Amino acid sequence: MKITNVRTRVFEWKGHTVPPQPHFCSNAMDELWDRGDSMGTFRFHGWTTVEVETDSGIVGLGNVALAPRIAKAIIDQYLTPLVIGQDPFDYEYLWQRMYRSTHAWGRKGIGMAAISGVDIAIWDVMGKALGKPVFKLLGGRTKEKIPCYASKLYRTDLNEMQREAQSYLDQGFKAMKMRFGYGPKDGPQGVRENLNSVAAVREVIGEDIDLMLECYMGWNLEYAKRILPKLERFQPRWLEEPVIADDIDGYVELNKLTSIPISGGEHEFTHYGFRQLLEQRAVSVVQYDTNRVGGITAARKINAIAESFSVPVIPHAGQMHNYHLTMASLASPMSEFFPVHDVEIGNELFYYLFKGDPEPVDGFLDLDDDVPGLGLELNEQYFDQFNIIE
């Protein structure tokens, strides 16, 4: 079997979106003097689909969520010529070929996200060719079902946050993640607002439900050191991305400072990047996203390294490309799950573009042993809500 073509399409959402709200979620732009929607650069209202076609008629489906038009151009111009005519089962060779030939400019960021999309599609091809789900190719089932946590709870009215938290309890979730809305430039009042929001959610869910806290790189080291001791009484399972991804020394210092586990890695790339994080004890929870980090070929290596450090791997965003790795790895105790709702930040766009993702039942997800490949298809029901670029 040989790869004969790689088809890429960009899907840009033109349907209904939830308008931006103030203090919705802290983020890396917050320290700058700026007007307007600080979350604007972190809203993902477009997606690149990657279809790897073979001479056997099997088509593998991959995806890229970052900078979709640029990802498409990288795949079309640089990566496709490297995989045409090759055996998809030589996946390690193909990954290294893409990685090394683009090394001067593509080793992190959108270049690696583009490689991820092709690599995911190649694994989908292999699963379909063997008639096995991808997780069976990665080691098989390591858990009966995958525990998952509800991931939304953006900073809104506190009563609304409490109602949302209660809805997740009613659905059977035993864990959930909330976002902070305030950072360093908001001063002591912002600190109080952040603490009040955590207290409001804890009041509803009690002490027996895991609560994760998300900063999305919106704090700096000084601010994080000031607020962390005040957060310890809420016993969060982790504090996510307190500072920008490049401040590895900051992560190291915070991870030593507090009893709260510090998590990160959503904006890190390849097993080389994660080896650095783990060797320096910068994070206590690894959170790569397979469609950014280098695809399944890279992610499985990260899982092995993390397991040797006894650091759990809980990939960002859920979604099938992450679920298969979680199911097959003892290093991954649970998954993130974004509830289906109107398009807001953009992670929820996955459900409008693809079909096949499992629905959680009582806080657990399961994968079908009999569905080959990733188990995803394009969801043509909503194609009229997208601007599609071939």
Rounded-to-integer distance, Cα 61 and Cα 126, Å: 11
Note if 316 is an active site residue.
yes
Using CB atoms within 10 Å of the CB of residue 151, give its burial: 0 to 12 exposed, 13 to 18 middle, 19+ buried.
Answer: buried
Of how many residues is the chain composed?
390
Catalytic hit among 23, 271, 316, 321: 316
Rounded-to-integer distance, Cα 322 and Cα 325, Å: 5
- Pair 45, 18: CB distance under 8 Å: no
Q: Helix crossing, 295-308 with 320-328: angle to 10°?
A: 40
Assign 3-class secondary structure to 322-380: HHHHHHHCCCCCCEEECCCCCECCCHHHHHHHEECCCCCECCEECCCCCCCECCCEECH
Rounded-to-integer distance, Cα 240 and Cα 287, Å: 9
Beta strands, E only, 193-292 = 210-214, 238-240, 262-264, 285-286
- Pair 26, 182: CB distance under 8 Å: yes
Torsion of CA 30, 33, 34, 39, to 10 degrees: -10
Active-site amino acid positions: 316
